[in-house]
Amino acid sequence: MEIAYLLGNRCGYLQGDAGQLNTLSLQFSTSDCSLLPYNHYWITSKGIVTPRGVISGAVEVKEGIIVSIVKEEDWQGNSKRGQIIDYDEAVIMPGLIDVHAHLDDPGRAEWEGFPSGTKAAAAGGITMLIDMPLNSFPSTVSVETLRLKLEAAEKSIYVDVGFWGGLVPENAFNASSLDALLSAGVLGLKSFMCPSGINDFPMTNASHIKEGLSVLAKYRRPLLVHAEIQLDSENYLEDDANDPRHYSTYLKTRPPAWEEAAIRELLTLSKDTRIGGPAEGAHLHVVHLSDSGSSLQLLKEAKRSGDSVTVETCPHYLAFSAEEIQDGDTRFKCAPPIRDAANKEALWKALLEGDIDMLSSDHSPTVPELKLLNEGNFLKAWGGVSSLQFVFPVTWSYGRNYGVTLEQLALWWSERPAKLIGQDSKGSIEVGKHADIFVWEPNTDFELNDDLPIYLKHPVSPFQCRYPTGYWLQFTQLTHLLSPGLGVDS
Ligand SMILES: NC(=O)NC(NC(N)=O)C(=O)[O-]
Ligand SMILES: [Zn+2]
Ligand SMILES: [Zn+2]
């Protein structure tokens, strides 16, 4: 067996031909409850990843919900009702939850879009993603703009989708506007501490963030922050030493001090989230950490002091280092930037030791023209890495060199993300949870090459140059929009 499957779920499905990712065909149905053509089934395997360890046994699914988990020694398959599907040595894992993806629809659907983005997600083991409020137009900063998002998404999605709302100067001091947005079902808010690159998504300062946290406290939802503050930078003349085609030139424009300054400021506000504090119940989540130095130290101290704070990093920071980025290869441009190899090693250490809580894709694609690949100008190209379909194989391919375990993969990609988004019914293989499950083979290699169908709208990704190894998968799953306030949660 080469390919694995997405399993489970309650409404809608993704159908894959076992064994052949390149013949994967996707279908969506609102009437069926499972990708597998059964309402009631058991999946058996020698490697079921549960919060209490990897077990050999069986998972029983009824109407998209996990109803029992049986260890091999207690399993008497013949006496069971329902269909039995044996995956042998393939690994059964909770589907990934990507808490940070920009699908750019409405308004910039030519950059990505819900059908292509969610199909690529599904092809990569992701069973739920949370869409960022910016890069689409208009940005998701009000109930009206959230409605436009929902209309765009409802047309066609292949995985479960939730939404973050934007915290921007325009709504930050307008508690009723934020209340309305949160009541309409956004899972939390997102803001930038530096220019976002998108005109209708301006940056917030400390007082906006303080206001945001106080509203979020009522809903017990998080604020996600792009933590970089623009510091005075030297004058980067386009001379020989600062050629805009050199990655080092770009790297110098966004030093770790930008991340550190932002996090230092944020932590003066996150104190409010402590038990007994004025914003108890709110939570602060730092997105896409790149600096494994002082920024990380500050976060560790804040956690120790009882601030409700978490942090994510992304596979591109764990896979690549500045030294290897070729002149003009703007596929690697993102913010904060990919730093040197020593920084990458320290990020892995922090992840393995639990100081970084989770992973996300920060899938932030654009049209190829805006990546300026011909010109190769790092200073002018769009900042954002396209990665959604590749994040899981990349995590595993690189992670296994660091001794990453299956339990850690599930923790970083499913369990902790589910907690961040407040979805108790998702994120792990446990009785009562949604059967958002995927199956994969850790020891089967594949190459990211022309034979592998890429469902992303534009196959312009730094991961194209790499050949991740180790797996492939099948799913069941899907599909609903998470916005209870608007009544579209099917
Ligand atoms: N406007 C963006 O999508 N920016 C994104 N761009 C990156 N990461 O380079 C981000 O998440 O900050
Ligand atoms: Zn960002
Ligand atoms: Zn982002």
All structural domains of the chain with their residue ranges: 96-432
Which one of 100, 196, 285, 313 would you pick to mutate in the ligand 1 pocket, going by the greatest count of ligand atoms within 8 A of its CB?
Answer: 196
Give the burial class of 37: count Cβ atoms within 10 A of its Cβ; 0-12 exposed, 13-18 middle, 19 or more buried. Answer: exposed
Q: Which residues pair with 422 in a beta bridge?
A: none
Summarize the confidence of residues 441-465 as an average pLDDT: 77
Q: What is the pLDDT of residue 446?
A: 65
Is residue 80 within 8 A of residue 113, CB to CB? The reply is no
What's the 484 CA to ligand 2 centre distance in angstroms?
A: 26
Is 90 exceeded by the pLDDT of residue 474? Answer: no
Largest Cα–Cα separation, the chain = 76
Each residue's pLDDT tens digit, 381-440: 999 999 999 899 889 888 989 999 999 999 999 999 999 999 999 999 999 998 998 888
- How far does Cα 347 stand from its chain's mean position? 17
Cα 39 to its chain centre, rounded Å, is 29
Judged by average pLDDT, the poorest of 14-28, 303-317, 338-352 is 14-28
- Which one of the ligands is nearest to 201 CA? 1
- In this model, does residue 39 exceed pLDDT 70? yes
What's the CA gap between 204 and 173, in Å, rounded?
Answer: 11
Name the residue of 136, 168, 230, 288 to mutate for ligand 1: max ligand atoms within 8 A of Cβ. 288
pLDDT of residue 484: 43
Q: Who's near 463: CB < 8 A, 6+ residues apart?
A: 316, 319, 387, 390, 394, 448
- Distance, in Å, from the CA atom of 407 to the CA atom of 247, rounded to the nearest integer, reads 36
What does the mean pLDDT of the chain come to? 86
In this prediction, residue 188 carries a pLDDT of 96
Q: How far is the CA of 237 from the centre of ligand 3 (A)?
A: 28
pLDDT at 36 over 80: no
Question: Which ligand minimizes its atom distance to the CA of 286?
Answer: 2
359 bridge partner residues: 313
Q: What is the pTM of this model?
A: 0.91
CA of 333 relative to ligand 1 center, distance in Å: 10
Residues 6+ apart with CB under 8 A from 353: none
DSSP, residue by residue, 142-178: SHHHHHHHHHHHHT--SSEEEEPEE--HHHHT-HHHH
Q: Cβ contacts of residue 60 below 8 Å, gap of 6+?
A: 40, 41, 42, 66, 67, 68, 69, 70, 80, 82
Token pair 């922090």 is at which residue?
Answer: 350
CA of 289 to the centre of ligand 2 (A): 9
Instruction: Give the pLDDT mean for 66-71.
Output: 96
Q: Where are the beta strands (DSSP E) in 151-303?
A: 160-163, 165-166, 189-192, 222-226, 283-286
pLDDT at 18 over 90: no
State the fold for domain 96-432: TIM Barrel (3.20.20)
CB 197 within 8 A of CB 221: no
Cβ–Cβ < 8 Å for 185, 482: yes
**ipTM of this complex:** 0.97
The closest of 60, 19, 95, 61 to 441, measured between CA atoms, is: 19
Residue 25 — pLDDT band, cuts 50, 70, 90? very low
383 lines ligand 1 (CB under 6 A): yes
151-155, 294-298, 365-369, 470-474, range with the lowest pLDDT: 470-474
Residue 226 near ligand 1, beta carbon < 6 Å: yes
The pick from 364, 378, 382, 391 for probing ligand 1's pocket by mutation, whose C-beta has the most ligand atoms within 8 angstroms, reads: 364
Q: Provide the CB-side half-sphere exposure for 285 (13 A, CA).
A: 29
The CB of 448 under 6 Å from ligand 1? The reply is no
Rg (CA), the chain: 22
> Counting ligands in written order, which one lies closest to the CA of residue 132?
3
Residue owning the nearest CA to atom 5 of ligand 1: 384
Element (H, E) at 208: helix 206-219
- pLDDT band per the 50, 70, 90 thresholds, residue 451: low
| pLDDT of the residue at 323 | 96
